[in-house]
Amino acid sequence: MHLILFLVFAGFCLGGAINLLIQSHPINSALSLIVVMVSLAVLYLLLGAEFLAAAQVIVYAGAIMVLFTFVVMLLNAGREARTLGSRAARSIGFPAVVAILAVIATVILHAQGLGVARLSDGITSTEELSTVLFTKLLLPFEVTSVLILIAILGAVALARHDDTDPRANEERTGK
Amino acid sequence: MSSFLSQEVPLSWYLLLSAALFSLGVVGFLIKRNLITVFMSIELMLNGVNLSFVTFAHQWHAVKGQIFVFFVMMVAAAEAAVGLAIIIAVFRARATLAVDRIDLMKL
């Protein structure tokens, strides 16, 4: 059962990632990325991370991807122009990617002591995770909330209309 | 039925999937020409790394690996909010999303 679930959702994952690269319209790429993220949530569940599976669906597939599709539609992004990329990307980038993948795969395949995952392994409960998060790692957690606050302020400051922009002022006084 | 349920998957397969996702993200970063899609490739790379964190957390029965993934998610959410705001600002100034035509720091 574990094997079948892994193969099916790993296939969805890779298929979605490849589709993200093939599609030329950003909205199709965004939908492929949602497929990848939901499949990853299932894989997290197979590895016993129940809280992360839920957070993956809510935060990534929910919040972040909604933001992406919203921006794609807001900016009315059309098909991207097909180019072959820069010469640097072609001549250095792709051989480097292949080399990195080969090195990582070699290391993983030769690693000793890597275990196996079974459905009967049991899951890390949310209670167990939150006990560590809210006792030993409380300070990093609080710092994260400050980071989120700064990100909200930064996003608002960056995305709002400039006050010196005459069109924006016209809109405001028109109302 | 019991033999069917006891099938097991080597953790190296999960790690290989994670490496493949990361590499596909790098390839997307290099070949895509739309600013938003380039940004999506970065999210793909983050997800690939998250999978390997969860795999190692399972291997060593360590909760902190999963908590690190939680922090990565929070940082990714902040990054997405700020990044997409920057994309909106760039689009307002340049009226294009093609990375080939966004080659000046000044808006």
Complex ipTM value:
0.88
Min Cα separation B104/chain A (Å): 17
Is A1 within the bounds of a domain? no
Per-residue H/E/C for A50-119: HHHHHHHHHHHHHHHHHHHHHHHHHCCCCCCCCCCCCHHHHHHHHHHHHHHHHHHHHHHHHCCCCCEECH
CB atoms within 10 A of CB A110: 8
Contact A154 B85 (CB under 8 A): yes
Is A151 within the bounds of a domain? yes
pTM of the model: 0.87
Instruction: Supply the pLDDT for residue A92.
Output: 83
Tell how far CA A156 is from the center of its chain. Answer: 22
Write the burial class of residue A55 (CB in 10 Å: 0-12 exposed, 13-18 middle, 19+ buried).
buried
Is B1 within the bounds of a domain? no
Classify A117 in phi/psi space as left (phi over 0), alpha (psi -120 to 50) or beta. Answer: beta
The mean pLDDT of B13-18, rounded to a whole number, is 93
Is B106 within the bounds of a domain? no
Count the domains in chain A.
Answer: 1
Model confidence at B50: pLDDT above 70: yes
- The most confident of A80-94, B42-56, B83-97, by mean pLDDT: B42-56
pLDDT grade for B56, boundaries at 50, 70 and 90: very high
Contact A124 B66 (CB under 8 A): yes
Is B75 within the bounds of a domain? yes
Contact A120 B64 (CB under 8 A): no
Give the domain range for residue B39: 9-101
Is B13 within the bounds of a domain? yes
Count the domains in chain B.
Answer: 1
Instruction: Supply the pLDDT for residue A165.
Output: 55
- B80: CATH: 1.10.287.3510
pLDDT grade for A163, boundaries at 50, 70 and 90: low
Q: What span, in angstroms and rounded, lies between the C-alpha atoms of A146 and A94?
A: 38
Taking CA–CA distances from A130, the nearest residue in chain B reads B67
Give the domain range for residue A157: 125-162
User: Whole-number mean pLDDT of chain A?
Assistant: 85
Contact A100 B23 (CB under 8 A): yes
CA-nearest of A27, A85, A107, A128 to B19 is A107
Is B16 within the bounds of a domain? yes
Q: What span, in angstroms and rounded, lies between the C-alpha atoms of A17 and A25?
A: 14
Model confidence at B2: pLDDT above 60: no
From chain B, the residues in CB contact with A60 under 8 A are 43, 47, 73, 76
Instruction: Supply the pLDDT for residue A82.
Output: 66
